[in-house]
Amino acid sequence: MGIDEYGGGQPQDAQVLVVTTNDVPGYRVQRVLGEVFGLTVRSRHLGSQIGAGLKSMVGGELRGLTKTLVETRNQAMERLVEQVKARGGNAVLAMRFDVTESGDVGTEVCAYGTAVVVVEE
């Protein structure tokens, strides 16, 4: 698996800064815009479910499911950033992911945080 298949995050030239902290050193929060989130629900296809079931008997990483979860988190993050831009923000503070199994249907991933406008000090 390549790094793009098991990792994520923003590119260096991103228009919206997303951090898991409550503040950003060197920046001042000029305006708080409120909570924002990006949500997606993904189902697993039958082949990956069968493969995961067999792999779980033997042990080890479920690479297909890892790749699916990475793609799902990245999509939720992209939607979060779209919401921030739509509100006129340029940063998200205290970003978190919430992952929930939606029965046997799929996995719900929500990226959420506080949209703000920050300025360099």
In this structure, the strands spanning 91-102 and 27-42 are unpaired
Give the three-class secondary structure for 120: strand
Which carries the bigger pLDDT value, residue 114 or residue 69?
114
CATH of the domain at 106: 3.30.110.70
Q: Comparing 30 with 99, which gets the higher pLDDT? A: 30
Give me the pLDDT at residue 118, please. 98
Q: Which domain holds residue 12?
A: 3-120
Q: Is the pLDDT of residue 45 over 70?
A: no
Beta strands, E only, 68-120: 91-102, 106-120
What distance in Å separates the CA atoms of residue 32 and residue 18, rounded to the nearest whole number? 14
Count structural domains, the chain. Answer: 1
Instruction: Please give the backbone phi and psi of residue 88, each rounded to the nearest 5 degrees, phi first.
Output: 90, 15
Q: What is the mean pLDDT of residues 58-70?
A: 76
| pLDDT band at residue 15 using 50, 70 and 90 as cut-offs | very high
| Average confidence (pLDDT) over 92-117 | 91
| pLDDT higher than threshold 70 for residue 60 | yes
**Average of per-residue pLDDT across 105-116:** 92
The pTM score is 0.81
